[in-house]
Structure 1
C-alpha cells in the first residue's frame, strides 16, 4: 500500500488526530475531503445554523487551499442535513456565497437524523495536482 498523502488545514491537525481520521487524502490527481461541519477550533458545534454552514465551508476551504486548490476545482459534493425539510431553504440561502459560478459540481443531498450535534456537513471530491505520483 502506498503512503496516504494527507492534507491538513492550518491549526486543525490536533482535532483530526484526536478523532482519528484524515481531513483529506490526495490521490491520482484528486482530493477526497472528509465531511466538514461547522465546528469551532475546539471541535464544538457553532450553535446558529447560518454561522454553522459558513464555518463548514470555511473549514472545507481551508483544506482545499492547503492542497493548493479552491472550490472551483470541486467536481462532486455530498451534503448531509439534519431535518432537511425545515432547514433546506435556510441552508441554500448561504450556499451560493461559496458555490461559485456555473457549471456547478455534481450534488447529492442526504437527509439524516444525527450529525454529532451539527445540522450540516459537506464532503467533496476535487481535482488537484498530485504530488505523490500515485
Structure 2
C-alpha cells in the first residue's frame, strides 16, 4: 500500500488551518496539489485580479517546492475562473511565465460562480523527481 504524506509550505499555514485541508498530498511519486488561490500570508484575497493570479502561481510554486518539485514537474493543471473571458489574458501571462516552453502540462479551465472570495484558483498534479 502506498503511504501518503501531507505537504505544506512553511510560511503559508493560515488558509489551510482555517479551512482544514492539506496544501498537497504526496502519494508515491505523485503530488496532488490542492487549489491555490491568490491569498496573502494571512489567507485574505489579493484585491487586484492580475496580482491575485500571480500570487496563486507563487503559492502553487511554494507548495511544489515544499515537495521538492518545480513547475517542470507538473503534468496536469485545472484552473477555475469566475469570469473566464475577461480574465483569460492575465491568466495566460502568468501561465506563460510558469510554463515557458513545451512540453506543456495538460490543462483544463473551468468557469465557476464562487471561489470563497477569490476570482481564480489553480490546482495541479506533479511527478516528484526520483530521490526526493
Same topology, TM > 0.5: yes
Structure-2 separation of matches of 1:23 and 1:130: 21
Aligned to 1:41: 41
Deviations 1:54-113 (CA, angstroms, capped at 9, x unpaired): 100110000100100100000000000111122112321232111231110000000001
SS at match of 1:95: helix
Q: 1:4: how far off?
A: 3.3
Q: Which runs of 5+ in 2 are unaligned?
A: none
Q: Which runs of 5+ in 1 are unaligned?
A: none
Does 2:126 match 1:126?
A: yes
Aligned to 1:4: 4
SS at match of 2:85: helix
SS at match of 2:89: helix
Deviations 1:14-40 (CA, angstroms, capped at 9, x unpaired): 431221101100002100000000000
Contact 1:78 1:123 in 2 (8 A): yes
Aligned to 2:108: 108
**TM-score, scaled relative to structure 2:** 0.91
Q: 1:2: how far off?
A: 6.8
How many residues get paired?
Answer: 132
Aligned to 2:30: 30
Distance 1:38 1:46, change over 3 A: same
